[in-house]
Amino acid sequence: MTAYAVIDSGTTTTRLRLWQDGDVRWSASMAAGARDTAIDGEPRAIRVAVRDLLARMRHEAGVTPTAVICSGMITSNLGLHEVPHLTAPAGPRELAAGIVRVTIPEIGELAFIPGVKTVPRSDTLADLGSGDVLRGEEAEVTGLRTLLGLTGPATFLHFGSHHKAVDVDGDGRITASRTAVTGELLAAVAGHTILKSSVAPLDGLALDAEAVRAGARATHEHGLGRALFLVRVGEQLGGRPRATMTSFLVGALAMLDLPLLPGVGGPPIVLYGHGAFPEALATLLEGRPGVIQVDGTTADLAAVAGAVALYELRGTP
């Protein structure tokens, strides 16, 4: 019976999921990622996380995987083994052909899925905005296209530490991407500025749609810096509840992601990820046709299914 251990390691978290019989049968994660490598100067934290997660999976699930498939920042220079980005456009066949198998001491053989880069139109500073890189989203969009039954072009907007808009054509090829550090901005502003005392915990926050729209308007009208301070004004002078002003804060930051998206009349937009931002963007895009909001369970399933599909498309030499 074929079973795969699928590892997704990002900026702060390394997660392992056991894929068997078309579903996730076991899952666990550890707080280790590319940020640890950047701080420590070597990937010890990720190596230990992968080793320990695999040992736990074998013990608790009683399964030895056919292969261990890795995607995300674990394939970067801040991961366990750097695999060069493929140049867009790149689709499932190119990604599958680019998978690299490497044996890591203490762990064993791992299969690394490459990311995709969009090369800037020129080497001038003015054209920096036409370039981008991604790692991990290539597996997610591969799985999402299948699960959602999408056959035409679409733009996928992923929410995490970084928010990434990924353009995919009708053949499933990634043609371009655009990244913003919106998720990290929210964490930094809510936890490390004067606004900390004015906002509520983000976990379990029920968004106030009116406050989200008001925050977005504030960024549009006053700029982000002023909009952020208005969170404190609303809480201190306006007597607004902290939960309301936290929704305002999320809306102010969500406004930064709208330029990542195609204009009205463009391809469908697929919103996926965790936290408050998917709902916030859905609120700001309300009434726009072709917007699909993916639930967290489906998004998680897509990442694993996509990684397995790419690995199986490559085949065994």
The predicted-structure confidence for 223-276, as pLDDT tens digits, reads as follows 999 999 999 999 999 999 999 999 999 999 999 999 999 999 899 999 999 899
Q: Nearest 5°: phi and psi at 37? A: -65, -40
Q: Fill in the DSSP letter of residue 197.
A: G
Domains of the chain, start order:
3-150 (3.30.420.300), 151-317 (3.30.420.310)
Q: How far is residue 34's CA from residue 152's CA, in Å, rounded to a whole number?
A: 34
Range in 1-5, 166-170, 212-216, 310-314 the model is least confident about: 1-5
Counted residue by residue, the chain has a size of 317
Task: Please state the rounded mean pLDDT for residues 131-140.
Answer: 96
Task: Please state the rounded mean pLDDT for residues 54-68.
Answer: 96
Residue keyed to tokens 């990634």: 174
CA-based nearest residue to 76, from 138, 126, 17? 138
Give yes or no for residue 317 having a pLDDT over 70: no
Q: How far is residue 112's CA from residue 184's CA, in Å, rounded to a whole number?
A: 26
Amino acid (1-letter code) at residue 281? L
Task: Please state the rounded mean pLDDT for residues 279-292.
Answer: 97
Give yes or no for residue 74 having a pLDDT over 80: yes
- Give pTM, 2 decimals: 0.93
